[in-house]
């Protein structure tokens, strides 16, 4: 698979005149249209004409030194969960086919446009974002990076987002993350995915899964790329990212739940990455996180995702439940059985969980753990519902720990070239986003030796 440039390199090429926004957009459109590629499954809609018109506008602005940012003209993809003015937001479903077109861009989309990024199209996703696997029976399932001849899952729910970046159909992607939906597809495709502290990026204009847990984040080719997009999404200044030296990093490996039932390749890659970090001077401590044991019982009745998604879907699913993916519908309907008292208990238990975990991890710079315990399963092997459920729960397990503690986290590729993709996750308490980016930038190259 070819190597595609980072956002910084693309910005340099645009500034120097080595390329233009139109050329970048035309190249992405050609890759999407390639019948031998995954574009027809990775994208639900491609906005070719608008993308080319926007690219021309950004080129004209750059000529008169009026580009809105140095990244103006770079094409990005948008997960089908977000409103784009004049388009129907389907959230990877057929149940919203007859919805009115959006009157406004989602807040996150508007911020990317203000920086001059070119929206190239809407990417495929798990229906209503309700799975970490990435299978979609309505629009097809894009094949992930690993062993495409066999066909392995791309990870979800931001499946098309990851594949669009991987295959150079976009140079960055807007995704969401409720229990790993940026980080899982990043891990399964050997790219970088970021889940920010939830409150930093507004959810306005996106179809909710769980408004308590939903976070809006980027998928891209490097830590610095994700940091750039994250700053734009959070409406913060885009400043140079200063990698922290690995020597002296204090990293905690949670031994509770996070290291259970790892595939052999995941365990081997993770331990090799830890050894490399230690060899470069990182201080690594394995710690018990007893608090993680509380999360399973909290989610026994479906947790926030079931209760909050049911509240949003209850009328739609009553009217159009027959067109829902049955694997999604059954999870949403778990929320019907939750009482108001159950939900209030969840809110109180989560507040306690966050406080206790934050106190435990305060002495460390970050937690480090495998992004997923499993490698990407074959699509064909998940036709069986039991197999699908087992692998979906495994894929979501580690990432969802961080959403439940209101943290921030990044997934970095940790595997060697040619090996099955494995992600290493770096996570911290809510509000520690900049530190996580600096740590990740410092260890990015070190963990793949």
- Per-residue model confidence (pLDDT) at position 357: 98
- Residue 289 CA: distances (Å) to CA of 131, 188, 254, 367: 25, 26, 6, 11
**Which secondary-structure segment (H or E) carries 8?**
helix 7-16
In this prediction, residue 398 has a pLDDT band, given cuts at 50, 70 and 90, of very high
Does pLDDT of 2 surpass 90?
A: no
Known catalytic residue at 181: yes
Q: Are residues 174 and 218 in contact, defined by beta-carbon separation less than 8 angstroms?
A: yes
Which of 79, 164, 195, 432 is catalytic? The answer is 79
Q: Are residues 305 and 213 in contact, defined by beta-carbon separation less than 8 angstroms?
A: yes
Residue-wise pLDDT for 27-85, tens only, equals: 999 999 999 999 999 999 999 999 999 999 999 999 999 999 999 999 999 999 999 99
User: What value does the mean pLDDT take over residues 305-315?
Assistant: 98
In this prediction, residue 163 has a pLDDT band, given cuts at 50, 70 and 90, of very high
Q: List, in order, residues 6 or more apart from 129 with CB less than 8 Å away.
A: 81, 91, 92, 156, 157, 176, 178, 181, 207, 209
Q: What percent of the chain has pLDDT over 70?
A: 100
Which of 131, 157, 159, 224 is catalytic? The answer is 157
- Per-residue model confidence (pLDDT) at position 201: 98
Of 10, 31, 2, residue with least CA distance to 169: 31
Mean of the per-residue pLDDT values of the chain: 98
Global pTM? 0.98
Which of 77, 159, 181, 309 is catalytic? The answer is 181
- Per-residue model confidence (pLDDT) at position 1: 65
CA distance 336 to 306: 8
- Per-residue model confidence (pLDDT) at position 449: 83
CA distance 322 to 319: 8
Residue-wise pLDDT for 108-159, tens only, equals: 999 999 999 999 999 999 999 999 999 999 999 999 999 999 999 999 999 9
Known catalytic residue at 79: yes
Residue-wise pLDDT for 18-32, tens only, equals: 999 999 999 999 999
- Per-residue model confidence (pLDDT) at position 175: 98
Residue-wise pLDDT for 180-213, tens only, equals: 999 999 999 999 999 999 999 999 999 999 999 9
The dihedral built from the CA positions of residue 429, 435, 437 and 442, taken in this order, carries a sign that is: negative
- Per-residue model confidence (pLDDT) at position 435: 98
Residue-wise pLDDT for 256-304, tens only, equals: 999 999 999 999 999 999 999 999 999 999 999 999 999 999 999 999 9
CA distance 76 to 253: 34
């Amino acid at each position: 698979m070819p190597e595609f440039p980072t956002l910084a390199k693309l910005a340099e090429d645009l500034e120097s005149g080595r390329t233009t926004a139109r050329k970048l957009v035309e190249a992405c459109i050609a890759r999407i249209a390639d019948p031998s590629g995954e574009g027809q499954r990775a994208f639900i809609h491609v906005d070719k004409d608008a993308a080319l018109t926007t690219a021309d506008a950004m080129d004209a602005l750059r000529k008169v030194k009026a580009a809105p940012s140095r990244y103006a003209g770079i094409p990005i993809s948008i997960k089908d969960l977000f409103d784009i003015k004049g388009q129907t937001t389907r959230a990877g479903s057929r149940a919203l086919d007859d919805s009115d077109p959006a009157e406004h861009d989602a807040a996150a989309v508007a911020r990317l446009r203000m920086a001059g990024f070119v929206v190239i199209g809407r990417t495929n996703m798990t229906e209503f974002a309700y799975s970490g696997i990435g299978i979609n029976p309505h629009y097809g399932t894009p094949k992930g990076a690993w062993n495409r001849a066999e066909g392995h899952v791309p990870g979800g729910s931001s499946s098309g987002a990851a594949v669009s970046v991987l295959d150079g159909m976009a140079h960055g992607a807007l995704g969401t993350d409720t229990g790993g939906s940026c980080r899982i597809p990043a891990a399964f495709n050997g790219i970088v995915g970021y889940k920010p502290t939830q409150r930093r990026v507004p959810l306005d204009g996106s179809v909710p899964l769980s408004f308590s847990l939903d976070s809006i984040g980027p998928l891209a080719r490097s830590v610095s790329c994700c940091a750039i997009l994250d700053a734009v999404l959070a409406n913060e200044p885009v400043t140079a990212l200063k990698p922290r030296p690995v020597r002296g990093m204090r990293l905690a490996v949670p031994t509770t739940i996070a290291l259970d039932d790892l595939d052999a390749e995941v365990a081997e890659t993770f331990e090799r990455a830890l050894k490399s970090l230690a060899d470069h001077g990182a201080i690594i401590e394995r710690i018990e996180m007893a608090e993680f044991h509380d999360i399973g019982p909290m989610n026994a009745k479906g947790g926030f995702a079931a209760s909050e998604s049911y509240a949003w879907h209850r009328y739609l699913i009553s009217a159009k439940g027959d067109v829902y993916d049955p694997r999604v519908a059954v999870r949403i309907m778990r929320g019907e059985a939750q009482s108001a008292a159950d939900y209030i208990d969840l809110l109180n238990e989560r507040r306690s969980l966050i406080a206790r975990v934050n106190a435990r991890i305060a002495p460390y710079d970050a937690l480090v753990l495998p992004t997923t315990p499993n490698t990407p399963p074959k699509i064909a092997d998940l036709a069986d519902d039991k197999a699908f459920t087992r692998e979906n729960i495994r894929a979501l397990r580690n990432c969802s720990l961080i959403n439940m503690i209101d943290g921030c986290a990044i997934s970095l590729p940790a595997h060697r070239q040619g090996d099955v993709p494995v992600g290493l996750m770096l996570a911290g308490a809510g509000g520690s986003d900049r530190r996580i980016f600096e740590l990740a930038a410092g260890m990015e190259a070190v963990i793949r030796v």
